[in-house]
Amino acid sequence: MDDTGVILCQNFLDELSEAITLCAPDQLFVLTDENTHEMCLPLLHEIDALTQAHHIMIGAGDVYKNLKTLSNVWQALSDQSATRHSLLICLGGGMVTDLGGFAASTFKRGIKYINIPTTLLAMVDAAVGGKTAINFNGLKNEIGVFQPAFRVLLETEFLHTLDAHNLLSGYAEMLKHGLISNYDTLNELLAFDLANTNYNQLKQLVGKSVSVKEIIVKKDPKEQGLRKSLNLGHTIGHAFESLALNQQRPVLHGYAVAWGLICELYLSHVSVGFPRDVMRRVIHFIHENYGSFIFTCDDYELLYKLMLHDKKNKGGIINFSLLTDVGELCLDQTATQSLIYETLDFFRESMGI
Ligand code: GLY
């Protein structure tokens, strides 16, 4: 384990038992959603410490990442007389770890929690780095706190049950980590065959990817500067995600991020000189694996408005995290409305639409 509490598991059950023992909780709670309750919880049954655990199950999906579900979790903790010495284990994807982390961080002003992410997206991003949240007022992750988990246990065996789309969704965040770190990591990621997943190799890539994030979070846990680099691809990616949701054709978060990366690499190229050949290689990989996101110029205005909601913005100015080269960050950049529209034109041309 490193000093940020993230463990790439070699023996998951032992490592979880050790983490629980170290916490020495007076009561133990396990939070799952309907899916992880059925698919993942049985894998934990051998752990003695969990025989007395209280189970809290919530609905699966982002639609349940709200105040009502949060209140149900607080209620369950309160009904079972949880104390400040109780421990919450969050077993699930990013929705469970975000909401569970927030519930734990606020109950009695904060109890310890352990994240066990079960999706690739949660392993390489959501469950690591201490961001907790629920959606509010139609906005994603609008309410939350920064509060790191006591431990994050990465058990890549869970990935065997993940469908191809969710695997790709998480992989987009790994591509982002490659772009903000170095050429070796990026090249390794671009060479990985996602159609015939080698899970041993994927485990190594997950370990490397998470360490990129951890190094950044350690230097800037509350996103005052450097951590903004983790938003590469997300300013436009979130706008794509919201547009798709508004038009009742939701897309997975990582797909929107992958398409957002294409746009923000173009912006990086034209604004701060990111190399064209690398941009082209990344676009090719994304187009091959993620396909296209279809929209027309009639959607530009709404996409622009959605970008104005980004959490990094200040004073109504859209804030982008760009790159001058792989691993060379250029934070707090902005772009005119006409350059953003040009970027959307470029995206549609690259996708052949
Ligand atoms: N998902 C970006 C961050 O954790 O900062």
Q: Does domain 164-350 have CATH number 1.20.1090.10?
A: yes
119 C-alpha vs ligand 1 centroid, how far in Å?
Answer: 16
pLDDT tens readout for residues 37-73 = 999 999 998 899 899 999 999 999 999 999 999 999 9
pLDDT tens digits for range 263-277 = 999 999 999 999 999
Give the integer Cα–Cα distance in Å for 345 and 353: 9
Q: What is the pTM of this model?
A: 0.95
Spell out the residues 6+ positions from residue 94 whose beta carbon is closer than 8 angstroms to its own: 117, 119, 121, 122, 125, 126, 127, 253
Residue 39, token pair as written in the block: 């698919």
Cα of 220 vs centre of ligand 1, distance in Å, is: 11
Q: Tell me the sheet residues that pair with 320.
A: 333
What residue spans define the domains of the chain?
Answer: 6-161, 164-350
Residue nearest ligand 1's atom 5 by CA? 230
208 close to 175: Cβ distance less than 8 angstroms? no
The answer to whether 123 and 206 have CB atoms below 8 angstroms apart is: yes
Structure tokens at 82: 């949880």
CATH of 6-161 given 3.40.50.1970, 3.30.2020.10, 1.10.1530.10, 3.40.640.10:
3.40.50.1970
Instruction: Quote the ligand 1 centre to 52 CA distance (angstroms).
Output: 34
Containing 200, the helix (H) or strand (E) segment is: helix 199-219
Cα separation, 123 vs 211, in Å, equals 11
Site to substitute for ligand 1 among 115, 120, 131, 141, most atoms within 8 A of C-beta: 131
- CB-based pocket (< 6 A), ligand 1: 125, 129, 131, 227, 230
Query: Across the chain, what does the average pLDDT equal?
Result: 95
Confidence label for 3 from pLDDT (cuts 50, 70 and 90): low
Instruction: Tell me what pLDDT residue 309 has.
Output: 84
For residue 79, the CA-to-ligand 1 centroid distance in Å is 33
